[in-house]
Amino acid sequence: DAGVTQSPTHLIKTRGQQVTLRCSPKSGHDTVSWYQQALGQGPQFIFQYYEEEERQRGNFPDRFSGHQFPNYSSELNVNALLLGDSALYLCASSLATAEAFFGQGTRLTVV
C-alpha cells in the first residue's frame, strides 16, 4: 500500500497563473480532504470531497476549487495565484473513520 500520494512534490508558478495539484488516496479510502499549511503554521482546512461532491468547505475563496474522480483520486485547482498562496498543500484520505492519513504534500511557490 503506497499510502496517500501527491504530485508534484514541488512547483513554482508566477502570480496570476493557475495550478492543479493531484492526490491519490490510500487504498480503500473514499474521502479526500485538502489543507494549506503556510510556513510556521498549522494546516488549514480547504475542503473535503466524498462521492465526487464537495462535502464541506473551509474559509477559502472561490479561486480554490476541487474535483474528485470515480476512482476517489482528487485534484485541487487554484486560479489567479497570489504570492500569499505559497504554502505546503496537504491531501488527507480517510474511510468513514476518525483516522485521516496525510500525503507528503506539494510545496507551491508563487513568484
Calpha distance 61→64 (Å, rounded) = 6
- In angstroms, what is the minimal distance from the CB of 58 to other proteins? 7
44 binds other proteins (CB under 8 A): yes
Report helix, strand or coil for 87: strand
Which region among 12-20, 51-59, 66-74, 75-83 touches other proteins (by CB under 8 A)? Answer: 51-59
- For other proteins, the binding residue among 28, 40, 70, 84 (CB under 8 A) is 40
Sequence letter at residue 9: T
Residues sharing a CB contact under 8 Å with residue 106, sequence separation 6 or more, in sequence order: 6, 7, 8, 9, 10, 11, 21, 88, 89
> What is the contact surface with other proteins in residues (CB under 8 A)?
4, 6, 31, 33, 35, 40-45, 48, 55-56, 58, 90, 92, 94, 96-105
